[in-house]
Structure 1
Amino acid sequence: MKNILVATDFSSEAHHAFEVAVQLARHTGGQLTLLHVLETIEDSGGGFSTVGSPVGEDSINQIFAIKLIEATKRRLNALAAESLRLAPEVPVHETVEMARAGEGILAAIKRHAIDLVVVGARGHGAMEHFFVSSTAERLIRLAPCPVLTVKHPHAAYEVKHVVFPSDFSAEAEGALDGLRAVRAAFPEATLHLLHVAADSDGHVAEQQMRAFAQQHQLGECETTEVDARRTSAGIEDYAKQIGADLVVIPTHVRSGLSRFLQTSIAETVATHAFPPVLTYHFADA
């Protein structure tokens, strides 16, 4: 979690994500890349810009595009200056992508060899900026690196309580690399292993959870099982109850696996739970 991309649309949620990213970079000795994506027009040559102005090929619209890029760079410069005040030891880079929001972020991840992308997110229904839930969900499904979604301000962000929901099955054993990275970055944090019994699922014994932690050398853990109508709701409620600072959810694109590894669960928790949520993909062994 050292080469961190902060994708911003300059909304309040994006600024919350920026603040968390600065603190993470300072904690891990990492660096930041600040990204804004300017939405492009359709291939047909007509359409509207991100701010709703008509775009074409004449000189007036070319001037408008140049002014928009210049304004964007000034706003990124302001964020970089704020980062310098908050954490002067953290290197900061700035970049602008001309693309659709999701594609632009994915392109920047590849171009800059990013190992963590941090984005602001809202719940469904807010449509003012491009960081509505659909963009965060797209990144969760497609980003090749972990995605951290942030929804609320965390001016003094410290990771003291980490929640890892799972069914602690054999399938879950291949999904621990991301959790181990979190444990390495925050060795003093308390890890909460959580099982949510939903949809008439069977229960998981505390002994099974502790055996799982011992087998995979996860260190000292708290183990909890809760009942809930939906898995995502159980995760969200428990994270709020203990004042969690981070929820870690691995996902797998292959269907038929444990529901705890389904992308839909990660997307829902990432856009609804109060604390930041870290999602990542894992491959079959």
Structure 2
Amino acid sequence: MKNILVATDFSPEAHHAFEVAVQLAQHTGGQLTLLHVLEDADGAGGAFSTVGGPVSGHSIDQIFTLKLLETTKRRMHALQAEATQLAPGVPVQDVVEVARVGEGILAAIERCEADLVVVGARGHGATEHFFVSSTTERLIRLAPCPVLTVKHPELAFKVQQIVFPSDFAEDATEALAGLRRVLATFPDATLHLLHIAGGASDHVAQQQMQDFAQQHQLAHVVVAEVAANHTSAGIEEYTRRVAADVVIIPTHVRSGLSHFLSTSIAETVATHAFPPVLTYHFAS
């Protein structure tokens, strides 16, 4: 998590994501790329640095777009200055993509070779900003790197409580590599292995969680089970109960496997749960 891309539309939610991204870059000794996507109505496309002209693609020759770019320059430079104050020494660069928002973010992830993309999100029904649920959900489905979704202020982002929900079936082991990367970044955090039961307590599931922790030598582990009609609701309930700092939800690149690892559940939790939610893909 050293090459961090944070996408911003300058909304409050995007600023929350920016603050978390700056703190993560400082914690990991990484670097930060600020990204803003100007909606492309004509399909021109391209990427620009706010210190000069186009990085690639076609030049912008429309007056309206030029004025938007000038405004964006000022805003991006202000964020760079703020990042310097928050985390002196963290390298920060900025990029402006001219594209559809979703496509622009995905293109920037590839171009910057990002290890992590951080975005702000509002819940369903929001229409004011770019990064409403549909854009976030699309990134969760398509981004080649982990996506961290932030919805609320995190002025002191200290990861002490990590929630990892799963059904702990065989494919959960395949998702372990992504979890280990997070645990290596926050080695002293408590890891909550969470199972959502549809009805009565499932003693088999509890034993599976214990075996999972022992088999993979996971430290600082708490096993927990919540009864809920919907998996996403159970995850949200538990994260509130333990004041989770981050929820980790892996999703399989192929559908039809464990219901716990479906992108639809990840998307719902990412846009509804209070703490930041980290999603990533894995393949078996």
- Aligned pairs for 1:163-242 within 5 A: 163-198=163-198, 204-242=204-242
CA 1:270–1:203 in 2, change beyond 3 Å: closer, same or farther?
farther
Deviations 1:200-219 (A, max 9, x none): 89554433211111111222
The answer to whether the Cα contact below 8 Å between 1:167 and 1:204 also exists between their aligned partners in 2 is: no
Partner of 2:252: 252
Partner of 1:93: 93
CA 1:280–1:92 in 2, change beyond 3 Å: closer, same or farther?
same
The answer to whether the Cα contact below 8 Å between 1:119 and 1:148 also exists between their aligned partners in 2 is: yes
The answer to whether the Cα contact below 8 Å between 1:253 and 1:262 also exists between their aligned partners in 2 is: no
Return the TM-score normalized by structure 2: 0.91
CA 1:269–1:203 in 2, change beyond 3 Å: closer, same or farther?
farther
What residue identity is the alignment partner of 2:112? H
- Aligned pairs for 1:73-92 within 5 A: 73-92=73-92
Partner of 1:128: 128
What residue identity is the alignment partner of 1:193? L
- For 1:137 and 1:163, the matched residues in 2 are separated by 20
What residue identity is the alignment partner of 2:130? F
CA 1:72–1:223 in 2, change beyond 3 Å: closer, same or farther?
same
- For 1:165 and 1:43, the matched residues in 2 are separated by 41
Partner of 2:149: 149
The secondary structure found in structure 2 opposite 1:102 is helix
- Aligned pairs for 1:42-57 within 5 A: 42-43=42-43
- For 1:19 and 1:203, the matched residues in 2 are separated by 41
Deviations 1:213-239 (A, max 9, x none): 111122230000110010000001100
- For 2:12 and 2:5, the matched residues in 1 are separated by 17
Deviations 1:48-95 (A, max 9, x none): xxxxxxxxxxxxx82221111111011011000000000012100000
- For 1:108 and 1:217, the matched residues in 2 are separated by 36
The total of aligned residue pairs comes to 268
Greater Cα shift, 216-225 or 183-192: 216-225
The answer to whether the Cα contact below 8 Å between 1:7 and 1:118 also exists between their aligned partners in 2 is: yes
What residue identity is the alignment partner of 1:260? F
Q: CA RMSD in A?
A: 1.6
Residue segments in structure 2 that go unaligned for 5+ positions in a row: 45-60
The answer to whether the Cα contact below 8 Å between 1:199 and 1:230 also exists between their aligned partners in 2 is: no
Return the TM-score normalized by structure 1: 0.91
What residue identity is the alignment partner of 2:159? V
- For 1:67 and 1:171, the matched residues in 2 are separated by 50
Residue segments in structure 1 that go unaligned for 5+ positions in a row: 45-60
CA 1:200–1:255 in 2, change beyond 3 Å: closer, same or farther?
farther
Partner of 1:15: 15
The secondary structure found in structure 1 opposite 2:269 is helix
